[in-house]
Amino acid sequence: MNYQPLPNRYDLMRYNRTGNSGLKLPAISLGLWQNFGTCDIADNYKRILLTAFDSGITHFDLANNYGPPPGSAEEDFGNILHRELKYYRDEIIISTKAGYKMWDGPYGDWGSKKYLTASLDQSLRRMKLDYVDIFYHHRPDPETPLEETMAALNLMVKQGKALYIGISNYKPAEAKKAFRILKELGTPCLIHQPKYSMLERWVEDGLLDLLETEGVGCIPFSPLAQGMLTDKYLNGIPDDSRVKKGLGFLSTKHITQDKIELAGKLNEMAMRRSQSLAQMALAWILKDKRITSVLIGASKPEQVTASVQCLQNLNFTQEELTDIENLLSLRAKM
């Protein structure tokens, strides 16, 4: 039988305005960096996507190089979109990116107009789409003039291949310059995608203030520190974990004793709030009104359902916030 989405899915989610734009994004978005490549199980990732859509998640985040192999996450997503969600394209926000190495030679990496233009065309072909909703420059390019990179992004919007533009991994000074150039070109930057979690907090050092001043949204990635901010590793490394998958993005060397002890203490706090540690880690990010959405990953549909339930308790008492700060600062001193 054909998939029928849950009729009440939009009641299960919150939707936040993205900066000063007209676009709202779900408080929780789903990324396809891991668990969606050719090496993964097709039925599982289809169920992850459909569970997300049934939970009110309307935003799916991709990049040219997601897989492995690079490009396969876009292909897999495109297939599911056209088979299962074909009547719902207008209810879905799809983003993709270019900026990391995608093909050999001097035109398959970084931020030239040549690379970005060709890459978006490839992404559209892989996903069988006419346009993406958001196109990101994935990381700053120290060699290409920022004016060229931003002009290429503006061109994609003018050509109708992307509706909005975003940047990712840009530090405050380079982000500010990018925002100015984009504004002058008539395509204001919609959103910034930085890494942000309880374990990685550089965005608090100027970026969030800048985004608020500039009216640009913020969608942090790896909010669970790839699984470290869950109860997953408290009693060893499970066979069904990202670490055991062995793709190198999270490996045994990252599972240090101090992080496990910290996760254990945070887990006790989360239980006192009647939440899982994953839910508390997401709520902790979403408590800041400058955050538009948190960008989660998932290896199972149940993780999506559990993570969305963080919305049941986004409030922290001052005492809880102080306790979390104390735990995090203890680790910083280790």
Ligand X SMILES: NC(=O)c1ccc[n+]([C@@H]2O[C@H](COP(=O)([O-])OP(=O)(O)OC[C@H]3O[C@@H](n4cnc5c(N)ncnc54)[C@H](OP(=O)(O)O)[C@@H]3O)[C@@H](O)[C@H]2O)c1
Among 208, 296, 311, 324, binds ligand X (CB under 6 A): 296
The interface region with ligand X, picked from 11-19, 27-35, 120-128, 265-273 by CB under 6 A, is 27-35
Q: Does 151 bind ligand X (CB under 6 A)?
A: no
Q: Does 77 bind ligand X (CB under 6 A)?
A: no
CA angle 76, 219, 81 (to 5 degrees): 20
Nearer to ligand X, 50 or 224 (CB): 224
The interface region with ligand X, picked from 116-124, 178-186, 210-218, 224-232 by CB under 6 A, is 224-232
Q: Does 278 bind ligand X (CB under 6 A)?
A: yes
* Burial class, 332, CB count within 10 angstroms (exposed 0-12 / middle 13-18 / buried 19+): exposed
* Least distance CB 319 / ligand X (angstroms): 25
Q: Does 64 bind ligand X (CB under 6 A)?
A: no
Phi, psi angle pair for 191, to nearest 5°? -160, 155
Name the residue among 60, 12, 2 with its Cα closest to residue 309. Answer: 12
Q: Does 307 bind ligand X (CB under 6 A)?
A: yes
* Least distance CB 318 / ligand X (angstroms): 26
Q: CB 8: neighbour CB atoms within 10 A?
A: 9
What are the residues whose beta carbons fall under 8 Å from the beta carbon of 252, sequence distance 6 or more?
Answer: 237, 243
Q: Does 119 bind ligand X (CB under 6 A)?
A: no
CA 258 to chain centre: 26
Q: How many chain residues touch ligand X (CB under 6 A)? A: 29
- Residues of this chain that interact with ligand X (CB under 6 A) are 31-34, 61, 138, 168-169, 193, 221-227, 230, 232, 241-242, 278, 295-299, 303, 306-307
